[in-house]
Structure 1
Amino acid sequence: MPLMLKILSRTLASVAVIFGVTHALAAGTGTGQEKAASTLERIRETGRIRIGYGDTAPFSYRLPDGQVVGYSIDLCRQVSETLRKQLGLASLQIDYVHRTPRNRVQLLNDRIIDIECNASTNTAERRRSAAFALSHFYASTRYVSLTRHGLQTVDDLRGRSVSVALGTVNVGQINELNRDRALNLSIVPADGLQAAFDLVKGGQVSAFAMDDVLLSAMIAASRQPQDFSLSKELVAAMQPYGFMMRLGDDPFRDAVNAALAQIYRDPKMAGLYRRWFEEPIPPGNITLHQPMSPRLQQALAQPREETGI
């Protein structure tokens, strides 16, 4: 009897090991890949994908009627449709979740959102806390100021006050510039892009440092665009934008990137870009007049991960 119990015990242990290995292979090897596989599996089981959006025209924003729109949103809708087909789903519901520059990574890590579809700059520092999809835009950093002040260069800011939006890479950029150039700036943090822009509009600060494409959109959407000017000199060089996903979600990240590579190479991609950067956009029918840059053209023609920035 004791011998039979030992044999039975060994058999049950072997079955448990085999089951554990099979389960690990199905979900991916290692903790990170298990998390990644669970994202796709959750989407398959629930028929829902959770997309983070912002207040960042023309990339992602909500219209007065409640509809979430934008260049990034259009791309992520197409990605979602590709995932729907790959997962064999009859339909895939998109749940839009508002995010801010300060909480976007936390929402990813807390699994409140599956992917952030906005205008997040892909940097080496950020890649330590989030995975990035293939780049969908490139932007440089400038500053906006009131036209009547005649500010155009970095040195024009010497001794002045500059607002920055908390949670953006521009905070580090302006701090570094302040140290390197000994500008003696008074740096004023604001909770959000619009709040930082409003400090310039109200005269509380001299300038707001931010990505030039976003500043252009905010100026165009203001009641008196002629009151604002973008600096001629860059605050920081051109950097890529990418959709953020959780670290370790390798299968999900790979599926998103495969879908984006296909979308980018499609001839319809040029029209999608024009829709948001060269034609009137809602709700105010403003036009950014921003043709596709040569760098973005190259990135769309030959999609690749950004790892050297």
Structure 2
Amino acid sequence: MLFSPTRIAAACGLLLSFGALAQVPPTLDKVKAQGVITVAHRESSIPFSYLGAEGKPVGFGWEICQRIVDNVKKATGRADLKVETLPVTSQNRIPLVQNGTVDIECGSTTNNSDRAKQVAFAINYFYTGTRFLVKADSGIKSLAELKGKRVVTTAGTTNFQVLRAANQKQELGFDLSTAKDHSESALLVEGGRADAFGMDDILLYGLRAAAARPESLAVVGEPLQVEPYAIMFRKDDPAFKKLVDDTIAGMMKSGEFETLYKKWFQSAIPPKGINLNAPMSKELQDNLKAMSDKPAL
């Protein structure tokens, strides 16, 4: 079941109007009692979580969450468990997890220390860095060449802080603005209203692959920082965190995780059958052994 934007706005509104978080029971207890688990997804975070050809969520993170849901069914004894899906944005994903509207978020969320004060994270399942999407004929190849240019990023992401800090530190004087989501940010570059879109490099590769003319865009620059992605859920819920972590750890140990990685990062994927050709980073290879949930600073 897909939730409407009205339902999302209402849920966020409730959180703001009460001025405090509702007391949400432990996730497994809540799910068992209600017979429903609500799984959040993104609409354009290729290849982690996005809408496929039929308008339904697909992606690397989405498939991992399906394994988690399978184990929730077993743990609660609810083979009849209903799965409701809810699209979220960078701005509303954390409040919707906190107030109990969403039970688990499967997208491209950076696990960092500030967010860990509000929500909990599973074992890190990807590592990425901020780079830039530009027009291929722009001549822009590095951060320094953005001096005095127009740079956009997506509202509510950690990339805004990273870009602002780099702008100030190197005195580049670029005009930094935000768009509501990744697709809109990319369209600003394609339409010539921004010179560069600063975002996690893997998401930029995905957006480039999905563009009408992929060859007209390029991902450039050295990563400004390396940050982990992780699946997000409510804090102070040790039983649910153990189930989620055990599911991901089991996939890493069995080889299923690597098989899934190759499917989404090194094979043809929807909607256009383009291969991202993104090899697994050293950080992620190391975490297949360490299985750490350590946040970025």
Instruction: Verify same fold: TM over 0.5.
Output: yes
Matched residues in 2 for 1:66 and 1:218: separation?
17
1:245 maps to 233
Instruction: After superposing the two structures, state which structure 1 stretch, 101-110 or 225-234, moved more.
Output: 225-234
Q: In structure 2, what is the Cα distance between the partners aligned to 1:199 and 1:272?
A: 32
SS of 1:183's equivalent in the other structure is coil
Matched, 1:226 2:226: no
Matching of residue 198 in structure 1 with residue 187 in structure 2: yes
**How far 1:262 moved relative to its partner?**
1.3
Q: 2:266 aligns with which of 278, 282, 295?
A: 278
Q: Structure 1: which amino acid aligns with 2:81?
A: L
Question: Does the CA contact (< 8 Å) of 1:152 and 1:233 recur in 2?
Answer: no
Rg larger in structure? 1
Q: TM-score, normalised on structure 2?
A: 0.88
Match of 1:297 in 2: 285
Distance 2:234 2:81 in 1: 20
C-alpha contact (below 8 Å) 1:120/1:242 kept by paired residues: yes
- The 5-angstrom pairing of residues 63-212 of structure 1 reads 63-212=52-201
Ranges in structure 2 where 5+ consecutive residues have no aligned partner: 1-20
Shift of 1:95: 1.0
Q: Do the aligned residues in 2 keep the contact of 1:277 with 1:287 (CA within 8 Å)?
A: yes
Judge which range, 165-174 or 255-264, deviates more. Answer: 255-264
* Alignment partner, residue 269 of structure 1: 257
1:76-135, Cα deviation, whole Å (9 max, x unpaired) = 110111121122222332211110011001111221100110110111122122111111
Cα distance change, pair 118–150 in 1 and its aligned pair in 2 (3 A)? same
CA contact under 8 A between 2:24 and 2:99: conserved in structure 1?
A: no
Q: Per the alignment, in what secondary structure is the counterpart of residue 149 of structure 1?
A: coil
Contact 1:36 / 1:251 at 8 angstroms: preserved in 2?
no
Asked whether the 8 Å contact 1:170–1:209 carries over to 2, the reply is yes
Amino acid at match of 2:47: P
Task: Please state how far the C-alpha of 1:233 moved relative to its aligned partner.
Answer: 2.2
Alpha carbons of structure 1 residues 41 and 211: separation in structure 2 relative to 1, 3 Å: same
Deviation at 1:48, TM superposition (A): 1.9
Give the distance between the partners of 2:189 and 2:55, measured in 1 at CA.
Answer: 28
3-state SS in 1 of match to 2:108 = strand
Q: Secondary structure in 1 aligned to 2:192?
A: coil
Q: Give the aligned residue type for 1:196.
A: S
| Cα RMSD after superposing both structures | 1.6
Q: CA–CA distance in 2 between the matches of 1:285 and 1:64?
A: 11
How far residue 307 of structure 1 moved from its aligned partner, in angstroms, is 4.0
Moved over 4 A (4+): none
Q: Deviations over 1:240-298 (max 9, x none)?
A: 00011112223222221122211221122221111101111112111101122222122
Give the Cα separation in 2 of the matches to 1:230 and 1:290. 13
For normalisation by structure 1, the TM-score amounts to 0.85
